[in-house]
Amino acid sequence: MNCIDLRSDTVTRPSEGMRKAMYQAEVGDDVYCEDPTVRRLEETMAGLSGHESALFASSGTMGNLVSLLTHCGRGDAAILGAESHILFFEGGGLAAFGGILPLVADDATGLPDAAQVAAHCRPSNVHVAPARLLCVENTHNRRGGNASSPEELAGLVRVARGKGLAVHMDGARVFNAAAAWNVPLETFTKQVDSVQICLSKGLGAPVGSVICSSREFIDRARHWRKKVGGGLRQVGVLAAAGLYAIEHNAARMAEDHANAARIGEILRDGGLDVQSVRKPTNMVYFAVKNAPELASRCAGLGVLFSPADEGRVRLVTHLDVSAADAVKAAECIVREARRAG
């Protein structure tokens, strides 16, 4: 059966063109900084993000972890959104490896609440773990894929800097945010001290993430990447996929957003309770009584998606979901949700 897979934008498979680029990649030992394709990817991402330097990492989780370890020492605190991926889905790596204390701020609107961020920055004394870092996520996965605006981000960054915090962006899907607001990537990424950007989400590469920041930060991050086992050797074969993705897939993200919007419309017209999002991107969340049961009924019909919680479903569009697939999948979900009552 040919499935329409809406579980995540991580499920894409490399195209023929991408595989050819991987096959032909010029490589060297990247631990010796001798892989020309990795260097080209890092230079490209530094340029696009408006930062001095960049570092390839194996995954978004590693990109975030290495960034947090570079920003914070043991016993330092990092402020995180309550539903952020770093807090929710990365195994507590910041605490396990870094001894970093997470301080939680409400992020119902997408970004951590500015007043709560400020309140976490308490005057220094022996009782207080010093807050060093604010983490933001754009787009925000568990907040409906919402893309916060450049202005909202600027306001929060101002508050953070006023409190002496550095700012790290989990930009796993910041290309989606740039597409949603129709602005260059650096409009978002230049505002923060460090950003990790995934190549393996909407961009459609099989593996990889890039951390972008100052040269000094990236030099220190390289040490942390080595310590966590992320120093890879002839990794140009993967960097080539990332370069191909940036060149061929970054410009088409608006299609994924349009397909997600069409799915949302069909579900709403079909009477489903679709979460409204201020600036939607490639995700649709809707409430349903028994999400796992609906997921399993639809899977039997070739439409795959993930229950986000017991009563909430997430659908994600990506480059392997066509406009026709989006309509077909949405119609199937409406039909099956009606059948299930």
Ligand X SMILES: Cc1ncc(COP(=O)(O)O)c(C=O)c1O
Binding site for ligand X (CB under 6 A): 59-61, 85, 137, 141, 170, 172, 198, 200, 209
SS3 113: coil
| Nearer residue to ligand X within complex by CB, 172 or 260 | 172
- Find the shortest distance in angstroms from Cβ 60 to ligand X: 2
- As a whole number of angstroms, the distance between CA 86 and CA 73 comes to 17
| Nearer residue to ligand X within complex by CB, 194 or 200 | 200
| Nearer residue to ligand X within complex by CB, 137 or 255 | 137
List phi, psi (to 5°) of 85.
-60, -40
- Find the shortest distance in angstroms from Cβ 247 to ligand X: 20
List phi, psi (to 5°) of 96.
-65, -45
- As a whole number of angstroms, the distance between CA 261 and CA 257 comes to 6
- Find the shortest distance in angstroms from Cβ 82 to ligand X: 14
Q: Is 157 exposed, middle or buried (0-12, 13-18, 19+ CB in 10 A)?
A: buried
| Nearer residue to ligand X within complex by CB, 107 or 170 | 170
| Nearer residue to ligand X within complex by CB, 51 or 143 | 143
List phi, psi (to 5°) of 287.
-90, 145
| Nearer residue to ligand X within complex by CB, 246 or 337 | 246
- Find the shortest distance in angstroms from Cβ 198 to ligand X: 5
- Find the shortest distance in angstroms from Cβ 155 to ligand X: 21
- As a whole number of angstroms, the distance between CA 29 and CA 25 comes to 13
| Nearer residue to ligand X within complex by CB, 170 or 336 | 170
- Find the shortest distance in angstroms from Cβ 200 to ligand X: 6
Residues facing 314 on adjacent strands: 285, 306
Amino acid at residue number 260: A
DSSP state of 73: -
Extended beta strands in 253-327, E state = 273-274, 283-287, 303-304, 306-309, 312-316
Pairing of strands 77-81, 131-137: parallel
- As a whole number of angstroms, the distance between CA 136 and CA 87 comes to 11
Residue nearest to ligand X (CB): 60
- Find the shortest distance in angstroms from Cβ 130 to ligand X: 25
